[in-house]
């Protein structure tokens, strides 16, 4: 398999993760409101499974280091399979709650609350598990990024007061909080199935490509339970059935949803491949900075803060200053 030795290359992959995790949900915005969220989620779940599988069959089967994909899958222990599958189940439930919050309340509120909470929780848990890097820089950087997320939430709240019903917004916030708590756990669970050093793989542990595939299988299989329930008990809109997936979903709708899964799949694979050279805490933390990428989309492309006051615009500017400063600290925390 192809592995990463260089910290700068690992950071580049983490930035790619950040761009993907902050951008893939735009595909939900591209779908017509008549196409049910739960049907869209089936499309993205399919893409989220297929893309890591394709990467595993190529990058995970090339090169002279480590184990090739199928050899890696065949030698892993039952506990490694269990942790990776559990990580997929936890992620899928977290992501469904997050996406439902996004559908109700918009990118600029769902991302800051859910992913912001997941960022702080995930970095803390993963650093305790594998304490690599300068802790002062890591946690100061996370603190600055958290301040940026708080500012983002305040900006959006100011704009939402005049545009959204309070009940809808409260439900969106509740779903975002629940999704954020779970989102902060999945990375740690999958890491327990992976060898700490991808260049010298431990027996019974996965390399990154095999681990991500098993994780994505867990995510997809749990979708049969979670999304079937969501189809029958939607957060908003009418109930839908599996027949509606083929009846109301055009080829274009399905392609848009799968594109979201492809983008998200690139992000998660890049993050885990980079996690050995960059440390799990930094790889996860940089990836979850995607909330600021989402803020850029929400503010400047989807115009979710259109008509904001001068004070609100000043808060937006401060948000990005805090974000860039925190990002810089995370990147330099592993530089000796």
**Cα separation values, 209 from 58, 272, 285, Å:** 10, 8, 20
Q: What is the pLDDT of residues 165-185, one digit of tens each?
A: 556 777 888 888 899 999 999
Q: Is 206 part of any domain?
A: yes
Evaluate whether residue 1 is within a structural domain: no
What's the CA gap between 88 and 84, in Å, rounded? 6
Residue 108 forms part of a structural domain:
yes
Q: Quick count: other Cβ atoms within 10 Å of Cβ 130?
A: 15
Contact residues for 231 (Cβ-Cβ < 8 A; gap 6+):
36, 38, 39, 239, 240, 241, 242
Q: What percent of the chain has pLDDT over 70?
A: 94
* CB 284 within 8 Å of CB 12: no
Domain extent, residue 280, equals: 7-332
In the predicted structure, residue 213 carries a pLDDT above the cut 90 = yes
Does residue 236 register a pLDDT over 80? no
Q: 16-30, 134-148, 191-205, 288-302 — which is least confidently predicted?
A: 288-302
Share of the chain above pLDDT 90, in %: 60
**What is the full DSSP assignment across 179-190?**
HHHHHHHHHHHH
Both tokens assigned to 28: 């939900």
- Tell me whether residue 2 is in a domain: no
Distance CA 46, CA 90 (A): 17
d(CA 42, CA 263): 15
Task: Please give the distance of CA 26 from its chain centroid, rounded to a whole number.
Answer: 13
Strand pairing partners for 194? 206
Domain tally, the chain: 1
| pLDDT attached to residue 265 | 97
The whole-model pTM stands at 0.89
271 within some domain: yes
CA distance 110 to 37: 15
- Which pLDDT score, from 0 to 100, does residue 193 have? 98
> Residue 159: what pLDDT?
67
Instruction: Sort residue 306 into left (φ over 0), alpha (ψ -120 to 50) or beta.
Output: beta
Residue 64 has a pLDDT of 82
Whether pLDDT at 105 is above 80:
no
């Amino acid at each position: 398999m192809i592995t990463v030795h260089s910290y700068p290359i690992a950071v580049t992959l983490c930035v790619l993760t950040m761009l993907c995790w902050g951008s893939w949900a735009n595909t939900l915005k591209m779908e017509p409101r008549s196409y049910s969220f739960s049907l869209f989620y089936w499309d993205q779940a399919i893409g989220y499974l297929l893309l890591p599988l394709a990467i595993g069959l190529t990058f995970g089967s090339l090169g002279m280091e480590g184990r090739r994909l199928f050899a890696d899958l065949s030698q892993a222990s039952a506990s490694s399979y269990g942790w990776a599958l559990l990580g997929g189940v936890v992620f899928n439930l977290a992501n469904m709650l997050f996406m439902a919050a996004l559908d109700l309340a918009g990118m600029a509120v769902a991302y800051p609350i859910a992913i912001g909470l997941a960022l702080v929780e995930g970095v803390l848990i993963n650093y305790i598990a594998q304490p690599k890097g300068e802790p002062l820089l890591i946690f100061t950087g996370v603190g600055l990024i958290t301040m940026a997320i708080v500012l983002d939430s305040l900006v959006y709240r100011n704009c939402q007061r005049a545009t959204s019903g309070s009940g809808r917004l409260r439900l969106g916030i509740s779903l975002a909080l629940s999704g954020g708590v779970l989102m902060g756990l999945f990375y740690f669970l999958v890491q327990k199935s992976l060898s700490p050093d991808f260049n010298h793989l431990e027996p019974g542990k996965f390399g990154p490509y095999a681990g991500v595939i098993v994780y994505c299988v867990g995510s997809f299989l749990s979708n049969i339970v979670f999304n079937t329930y969501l189809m029958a008990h939607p957060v908003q809109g009418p109930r839908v059935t599996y027949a509606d997936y083929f009846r109301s979903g055009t080829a274009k709708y399905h392609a848009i949803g799968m594109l979201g899964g492809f983008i998200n799949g690139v992000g998660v694979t890049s993050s885990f491949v980079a996690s050995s050279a960059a440390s799990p805490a930094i790889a996860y933390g940089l990836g979850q900075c995607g909330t600021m990428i989402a803020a850029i989309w929400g503010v400047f492309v989807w115009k979710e803060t259109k008509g904001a006051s001068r004070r609100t615009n000043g808060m937006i500017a401060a948000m990005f200053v805090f974000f860039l400063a925190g990002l810089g600290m995370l990147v330099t925390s592993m530089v000796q």
